[in-house]
Structure 1
Amino acid sequence: MRQHRGGRREMVPAYAATTRAEPTRNSLDALTIIRSLGSPPAGLTPAQHRLLTVLEGGALTLVDASRLLRLPLGVVRIVVSELVDQDLILARAPIPQAQGPDTDTLRRVLDGLRQAARDEAGLPR
């Protein structure tokens, strides 16, 4: 926010936190994991500096960084892409969830375990 004449504060639009209108890379999604590669150098925008300061505590997802900085996700994408271009942040795609076994395999394993329990208990098939 900027101080306005008469003591009122004028809101600064979120897009003013960046130096460009679009991210330089399109591979940044909400769950991209980002981490800082060092301390903030001089000459950064306030949003870039705040992001690097937040990342001193460890890696975050883009959505978490957006929440902590109180900036829209689209703005954070642009800020992150600028810092990645300057080799100040490392961005890594989210780790995909492992694909579980199919239900047919699980059913056959469960049936086998039930049969083994029956055999152990001496119950008829």
Structure 2
Amino acid sequence: MRGSEDADARDGMWLDDEAGRLVRPYTVSGGRTRPSAHFDLLTLVMATGSRPKIYLGPDHDQILDLCHANPVSVAELAAHIGQPAVITKVLISDLAEHKALITRAPHAIEAAIPTDRETLEAVLRGLRKRL
């Protein structure tokens, strides 16, 4: 349980009750804007149970915690950690290189019925508000 307490203490130094997050997204990713592997927003991410041998940062830990029990999409992870999708993809690629998680591309599903354009636009508007 000690590791969890250490992570909570480290996370606390990056947050301020009034100002919110104190670290800019490009700092979280070390200035990188391109992941080392391709991930779609619907790519599913699952923790392997193995932790990186070095400490990568609080956002990396948060991603591992979020996808520990069940696969989570890249878009969901970005929303949960409060980072842009491109930064989240960089963090995921870091963890994948350390074999701390695995990813699976989404399967294409052929629609049995045509999709209503109005419904798709409503979904898109909702996603844009969240991300």
TM-score, reference length from structure 1: 0.66
* Contact 2:39-2:105 within 8 A present in 1 as well: yes
- CA distance, structure 2, for counterparts of residue 66 and residue 10 of structure 1: 15
- 1:20 CA drift (Å): 5.3
- After superposition, what is the alpha-carbon deviation per residue over 1:52-91, rounded to whole angstroms, capped at 9, x for unaligned? 0111231100000111111110110000011111111101
Amino acid at match of 2:64: L
Percent identity reads: 19
Of 63, 68, 82, the residue aligned with 1:56 is 68
- The answer for the alignment partner of 1:90 in structure 2 is 102
Amino acid at match of 1:30: L
* Contact 2:48-2:68 within 8 A present in 1 as well: no
Equivalent pairs counted in the alignment come to 98
- 1:40 CA drift (Å): 3.4
The alignment partner of 2:67 has SS state of: helix
- CA distance, structure 2, for counterparts of residue 12 and residue 87 of structure 1: 26
RMSD between superposed Cα atoms in Å: 2.7
Structure 1: gaps (5+ residues) = 102-125
Q: Which runs of 4+ in 1 moved over 2 A?
A: 7-11, 39-42, 98-101
- The answer for the alignment partner of 2:46 in structure 1 is 35
Of 47, 53, 59, the residue aligned with 2:59 is 47
Highest Rg: 1 or 2? 1
* Contact 1:18-1:47 within 8 A present in 2 as well: no
TM-score, reference length from structure 2: 0.63
- The answer for the alignment partner of 1:77 in structure 2 is 89
- 1:51 CA drift (Å): 0.5
- 1:43 CA drift (Å): 1.5
Structure 2: gaps (5+ residues) = 1-13, 114-131
